[in-house]
Structure 1
Amino acid sequence: MGNKNSTITTTGHSSSVSTKNKYKKSLPSPLPATSGPAAITTNSTAVLPHSVRRILQNFLLIWLDANIDESKKDFKNSLKHLRHIVASITTFTDSQECVNFLSEIKKEKVFMIVSGSLGQYIVPEIHTLPQLDSIYVFCGNQLLHEEWAKTISKVKGVYTDIEPICKAIQIDRERCDQAMISISFRGIDPLFMYTQLFKEVLLEIDDDDTKSIKELVDYCRLQNDIAEDEIKKIEQEYHHHSPIWWYTTPYFIYSMLNRVYYNIGEYSKALSFYEQALDISKDTLPPNHPDLAACYNNIGLVYYNIGEYSKVLSLYEQALEIRQKSLSPNHPDLAASYNNIGNVYNNLGEYSKALSSHERALDLRQKTLRPNHPDMAASYNNIGNVYYNIGEYSKALSSHEQALDLRQKTHRPNHPDLADSYSNIGNVYYNMGEYSKALSSHERALEIKKKALPSNHPDLATCYNNIGQVYKYMGEYLTALSYVKRAFDIRRKNLPPNHPSLAASYNSIGSVYCTMREYSKALSSHEQALDIATKVLPPNHPDLATSKKNEKFSNPSSIKLNLTLKKLIDSK
């Protein structure tokens, strides 16, 4: 029923949406505080007020320690190590100042280094904040602090030296950059201006346009979020490399631009940018370079989100072909490619190919990832979706429950991935005729997504649509109609006019009208669904199959009009 929630990946990481939550608890009294400045942003340039700082990366690093002394050699050495990895480091000596700053973060993920003495009090109070991604305890007594730290999943480790912390943050930084793959529908925000600036400077300037480079460098220094070494690198060496080299090199530009495009939801602009990057890449890189695969994959993601699945398949297959030639046989990016291709086949109705692709992805992930890695859950989730579509509901339920179990172990209680699992389990129960269980699962999914997403996000539409379908089969038709229309309103405002999800909404509305015996309205809705479906789905797609039974017509997985409906209208 409705849309199943699939997980799309580019480099083996599923995406997520941060919830917005303010920290309101008062801290326990044992927390020490020091006099003097409580927060220091380590940079060689002036510090902007926190309220107006522009965050140009996907994450922030904060460091809380009552004994921080920036004049000490050890502290300076630690910063030197960290600044090779992170552009912006904000340090605190006062716990409450740190919490206040942390609670104001809206979109970025936060990595936190905390002393053992403060961590044992503050971490249990703040670890559930959704913006807080990872915690690293830096102390002098590892055994003492491992006792309390081991009970909190976000604590990545207890360390007595800065170098292993740097290695751990490096891994998490790469994960954070790679995970920015979901496109939300929040409209254009101020970050779009950054995109225009970098696009003009990096991809469109003339070779002698040193003025533009100077403007870019000055702007970067003003933002106070970019390492000075990286700024100097651009300033001194820009003309030594091609624009695409600067885009794909592991500096701040790549991660910042990805973050901008995936958050603004401007598909046409994202597509234009990625196609331009692909053209430049083809001119400057060898034919089997992994960066070309990334370009194909990024373009495919845009087409996937606008429902043009035939184009997506071609792009994902090109990315896979390059990765097969350039990467080791068990590389995680291969699993990501198989995963994405499987999702496309699933949407095209080629379920045997979809299942084969997802099983290959799962096999690779089982060989290379830890058992509770989030991508393992993504594979089980997507395999469950295929079993659902071929009517093997017991297998679908088993796969989705495996995904949910893994996600409950690794995610916070209100993580959107949990909502996806509940939605998918609800869909299975719905088709098994267990409507009370289905309704409970879908309502739980909606509750989570309401906390995590904007009020007009298409994922909320999926929840509303699913709940409406359950109410329809429970005989509460007016309630059902209210929910499916709410889903339609969200989709109409946020999706292209021929998106498959709009066809699903028209079909859902039509099926409710049909059960209410309002046949003319039902026919109109189903004709609109069919019109969209014939434009975007292949001729042999199961959703276009002619229904063979009256009751089948009301099932939201079927779009093709049944001639029985016209006969019913004629007989009225």
Structure 2
Amino acid sequence: MGCGASVATDKSVVNSTTPVNISSPTHPHRSQVSITNGEKGQQRIQALDLVQNYFLLWLDGNLDESNEDFQNSIKQLQLAVDTIEKFRDANECLNYISSFKKQKAFLIVSGALTENVVPRVHGMSQIYAIYIFCRKKSKYEQWETKEWPKVRGVFTEIHSICASVQQSARECDDDTVGITGELESSFMYTTFFKEIVLEIDFDEKKTIPELADYACQQTVYTNNKKELELINKFAQEYHGNIDNNSVQWYTAECFTYKMLNKALGNLDVNTLLKTGFFMRDLHQNIQQLHDEQLNNKDKPFPSVAFRGQTMTQQDFEIKIQPDKLMSYNNFLSTSELRNVAVRFIRRKLLSDNTKIGVLFIITIDPSIKSVPYARIAKFSKFPDELEILFSTHTVFRIRQIKEIQEEEMKIWQVKLTLTSDGIDEELSALTKQIRMEITGTGWDRMGLLLWKMGENDKAEQVFTMLLEQAPDDDNNKAYCYHCLGLIKRNQGQYNVAIDFCEKSLAICEKILSPNHPDLATSYNNIGAVYNDMGDYSKALEFYEKAHKIYEKALPPNHPELATSYNNTGGVYNDMGDYSKALEFYEKSHQIYEKALPPNHPDLATSYNNTGRVYHNMGDYSKALEFYEKALKIKEKALPSNHPSLATSYNNIGQVYKNMGDYSKALEFYEKDLEITKKALPPTHPDLAISYNNIGLVYNNMGDYSKALEFYEKDLEITKKALPSNHPSLATSYNNIGLVYKNMGDYSKALEFYEKAHQIYEKALPPNHPHLATSYSNIGQVYNNMSDYSKALELYEKDLEITKKALPSNHPDLATSYNNIGLVYNNMGDYSKALEFYEKSLKIREKALPSNHPDLAMSYWHFGSINEKMHKYSEALSFLEKALFIFKKSLPPSHPHIQSVRNAIDNVKKKI
């Protein structure tokens, strides 16, 4: 293993949110719902459970929890469903059901409350099944009709309800196995996860008890004696795929089945890491059975399998298209029997008639080796269903779609065939690049995968473990330091990142020749951290060291050289030296043109980077030219609903927004939104970003009600898709705060800015630069409210963090001083304002090129305050300096140029 992969500074413009983009933290452990009295119900539904997505509710006005029969009934029901809530009041129960959106509820209702409750709850989407529990069945049989299809029956004994609830729970579990159209990122990442766990040699003496402990910690199991006994039995008796042990535990439909499939569906990294060894064993067990059964001439394997599923009309139209691919992340249950699949569809449609039924007919070709599959009926709790279980990540080609009449139902019949990685070019092309980037073997590959997924805390745990195991002065140790440096950079802990990168470099310098490309990689990565810290001279120093090695060690048209030029161009772009940035981006582009085919997406990215420079320069026509070149390549090279196309539409929309052409901006943002809605699931964070961008346009147009409408759509998705302390949620709150600030509703603005700030405080270290930005945002509101003492207090907190987190010559520190100067200026304390303006100017003069626009802004401020102090000659001198820089660095039509000219004219009249 070398000292690490090179990190390019990606300067591509992507869907933007304000004020900053912060790396994703790991998913927190979320509290579950236990068996408690209904009076506290509203506080208990926080998020989707790690284990299940359904609850059992028992509504009876005369519930007596001390009654022995009732306690025995609860124990029996717990064998079917983990979470039970009890209610005595009908209104409270209905309010509780209304409070959650994704979970499904099974409702046991007493005979006495049936007439009042069933008509009120039957139409609620959250209700999956209703069980009427009474002493005299004949009194309530009128509810067992087609008019009330969610009523599963009238019961006089609890064990009959248990059997029916168990069937409903199984249907709900199976319905969480989601289809992905084409290949989505979750499919690719869980594919890589599977590949990696198959090559890791797990220590089962450690991993089995860890999974058992993790399952016991889930609140949903803490009061479930039967499930806890099962977990303990698993810890004592599980022994991998010996004697089909893993298949037996999977078909037991206990915590193993629920946690693993839920984690695969939700891409829950924490749970995937805990269940990784079980996933490996189950896959290998299916493979073993597959080999045995396919070679059994006495009992030929069936050529067709059936699966019944229900889908929304929208999902069906997006994901089920002729000749397209569809896939499953999870272990996939099918049946040899058509009527089993049809029966499943019928029961699902009875409970939810808003969906459509889909019967998948899967042709099984033994020559296709994409994933193993096996008969598992003899291990199943439902042997009559003749189940065939496929391992994870099945990919099918859709061959035929046909609407059919199935008894009293109209359903869609979809014929599928398995595809193979070896022959399916689309599948191979979409995963090839990322697979190449996840280098190494075993746990180091796992660490890289987690890093690429933004799971920095988990990746840090893996590489810290590997570091402890690595010998001194070994290249493995250098690699671990390197990766930890990348992680700390993503976490905004730049000083720690530099420390790790330098430790990696020290080892690489000992074990590698002076011109080894991996040494260049170390220099490159250190340069990237300094670039993030705003120390551009240091960044350039290390990028140049890296580049000298690349020039000697690599052929002149190697893509790494193009990356090196790109990184240097990125520094100059950040420094505001756009001519230099263009020079290096052009060198990078020339190599890409020679090394890549003309329709390669990387060439589109190169055009995009150049467009970004022109965008920053305010030369929107040039930016548009390069963005459109990028778009032209993407339209040829990518599928029509590829998310990268949506990004191009977004970039072009940004140009039109900045040009003030809001109707054009909306046109392109809506194209972006149209693709994003088709390409991604309805709770995907990228969809939230698309809504956010449209909100930005309406905000700029002054249509604040429309802006709020789209920002709230953004917020709704973000709250569903991300953990409650995710920084992107803070960004959503920030945007809504921005609208209220623009509307002059400062109390509302503060409410949302403070929500954002609370998340930043939880999610980020106390000296993180983004926390400083949050203080600055709140300070701006108080400044606008003329509460200058409060604004000053917040700006000083911003300054305190910025001074600790960033180097003394960082441009952001200059901005902090500038903001404090603005407050003193508004207070009429011009001498104090000048003091802070001077500190700001001093940094900018050192840190920025002489023609940087921010330097001109400082001179403009000096000119303005000197005019207020009646020092007209000094004011004129500073304003002319500002104009000189603006004319050099900005296009002639830029509004700043005319504004400063107007200010100069005003001062000249006063002299």
CA distance 1:400–1:416, change in 2 (3 Å): same
1:378 CA displacement: 0.4
**Residues 220-275 of structure 1, C-alpha deviations (whole Å, 9 max, x = no match):** xxxxxxxxxxxxxxxxxx99xx9748999xxxxxxxxx9xx99xx9999xx89988
| Matched residue type, 2:604 | A
Alignment of 1:15-414 (within 5 A): 22=50, 24-25=52-53, 26-28=169-171, 42-43=198-199, 45=201, 48=204, 49=207, 94=250, 96=253, 97=256, 99-104=258-263, 105-107=267-269, 120=307, 134-135=327-328, 148=360, 157=397, 158-160=416-418, 162-164=420-422, 169-174=427-432, 176-177=434-435, 189-193=460-464, 244=517, 280-297=549-566, 316-414=585-683
Shift of 1:383: 1.0
Residues of 2 paired with 1:109 and 1:321: CA distance?
45
Match of 1:79 in 2: none
Pick closer, same or farther for the CA change 1:101–1:214 going to 2, 3 Å.
same
Quote the Cα distance in structure 1 between the aligned partners of 2:271 and 2:638.
23
* Change in CA separation of 1:483 and 1:299 when aligned onto 2, cut-off 3 Å: farther
Cα deviations across residues 348-396 of structure 1 (Å, max 9, x unaligned)?
5443332222111111111221211111100001111111112111111
How far apart, in 1, do the equivalents of 2:773 and 2:210 lie? 43
Aligned mates of 1:91, 1:437 — CA distance in 2: 53
Alpha-carbon distance in 2 for matches of 1:173, 1:166? 12
Structure 2 counterpart of 1:416: 685
8 A contact 2:599–2:636 mirrored in 1: yes
Note the alpha carbon deviations across 1:509-567, whole angstroms, 9 max, x for none.
Answer: 43x345424467489557389849966796447995979xxxxxxxxx99x99x99xxx
The alignment covers a number of residue pairs equal to 455
Give the structure 2 partner of residue 80 of structure 1: none
1:527 matched to 2:822: yes
Give the TM-score of the pair, scaled to structure 1: 0.58
Residue 438 of structure 1 deviates from its aligned partner by 0.5
Which residue of the partner structure matches residue 7 of structure 1?
14
Deviation at 1:441, TM superposition (A): 1.2
> What amino acid is the match of 1:135?
Y
1:483-562 alignment runs, 5 A limit: 483-484=752-753, 487=756, 506=776, 509-510=779-780, 512-513=781-782, 515-518=784-787, 521=791, 524=819, 527=822, 531=840, 539-540=852-853, 544=857
Could you tell me how far apart the structure 2 residues matched to 1:308 and 1:29 are?
A: 56
Q: CA deviation at 1:439?
A: 0.9
- Give me the whole-angstrom Cα distance separating, in 1, the residues matched to 2:542 and 2:417: 42
Q: Does 1:441 align with 2:699?
A: no
Paired residues of 1:303 and 1:309 also in contact (CA < 8 A): yes
Change (3 A) 1:192 1:374: same
When structure 1 is superposed on structure 2, of 526-535 and 387-396 the one drifting more is: 526-535
Distance 1:101 1:171, change over 3 A: farther
Distance in 2 of aligned mates of 1:27 and 1:163: 32
Tell me by how many angstroms 1:424 deviates: 0.8
Matching residue of 1:227: none
- DSSP-derived class of the 1:288 partner: coil
Letter in 2 for 1:24: Q
What is the rounded CA distance, in whole Å, between the counterparts of 1:346 and 1:504 in structure 2?
A: 26
Flag the 1:400–1:285 CA change in 2: closer, same or farther, 3 A: same
Whole-angstrom distance in 1 between the partners of 2:621 and 2:711: 27
Supply the AA of the counterpart residue of 2:328: I
Given that 1:404 and 1:418 are in contact with CA atoms closer than 8 Å, whether structure 2 keeps it comes out as: yes
Aligned CA distance change for structure 1 residues 507 and 47 (closer, same or farther; 3 Å): closer
Distance 1:374 1:330, change over 3 A: same
State the alpha-carbon separation in 1 of the partners of residues 674 and 543 from structure 2: 36
Do the aligned partners of 2:577 and 2:852 also contact (CA within 8 Å) in 1? no
- 3-state SS of paired residue (2:170): coil
Encode CA deviations 1:124-177: one digit per residue, 9 max, x unaligned.
79x99xxxx953899999xx9996389xx9965343464557755533433545
CA distance in 1, matches of 2:854, 2:619: 8
Q: Which runs of 5+ in 2 are unaligned?
A: 1-11, 17-21, 28-47, 54-168, 175-193, 212-240, 273-278, 291-302, 317-325, 342-357, 363-392, 398-415, 439-448, 480-510, 793-817, 824-835, 862-894, 904-911
Give the match for residue 235 of structure 1. none
Q: Among residues 733, 737, 749, which one is paired with 1:464 in the alignment? A: 733
Structure 1 residue 282 displacement after superposition: 3.4
SS in 1 for 2:328: strand
In 2: Cα distance, 1:338 partner to 1:353 partner: 11
Alignment TM-score, normalising by the size of structure 2 = 0.39
Provide the C-alpha distance between the structure 2 equivalents of 1:541 and 1:457, rounded to a whole number of angstroms. Answer: 31
**Paired position in structure 1 for 2:696:** 427
Distance 1:30 1:330, change over 3 A: closer
CA distance in 1, matches of 2:722, 2:394: 22
Contact 2:519 2:546 in 1 (8 A): no
Q: Unpaired segments of 5 or more residues in structure 1? A: 10-14, 32-38, 54-69, 72-89, 206-210, 217-237, 249-257, 548-556, 565-572
In structure 1, C-alpha distance between the alignment counterparts of 2:599 and 2:658, rounded to whole Å: 29
- The answer on whether the counterparts of 1:423 and 1:441 sit within 8 Å (CA) in structure 2 is yes
- State how far apart, in whole Å, the 1-side matches of 2:685 and 2:25 are: 8
> For residues 255-301 of structure 1, what are the alpha-carbon distances to aligned partners after superposition, in whole Å with 9 as ceiling and x for unaligned?
xxx9xx99xx9999xx8998887565333211221232245556778
Alignment CA distance shift 1:391-1:288 (3 Å): same
- Asked whether the equivalents of residues 576 and 853 of structure 2 are also in contact (C-alpha less than 8 Å), the reply is no
1:120 and 1:148 in contact (8 A); partners too: yes
Is this contact kept in 2: 1:477–1:516, CA < 8 A? Answer: yes
- Report the AA paired with residue 103 of structure 1: K
1:448 to 1:484, Cα distance in 2 relative to 1, 3 A = same
Answer yes or no: is the 8 Å Cα contact 2:620–2:659 preserved in 1. yes
Percent sequence identity is 32
Output the amino acid matched with 2:170. L
Contact 2:645 2:672 in 1 (8 A): yes
Moved more, 163-172 or 396-405: 163-172
Instruction: Label 1:360 to 1:448 Cα distance change in 2 as closer, same or farther (>3 A).
Output: same
Shift in alpha-carbon separation, 1:30–1:355, aligned structure 2, 3 A: closer
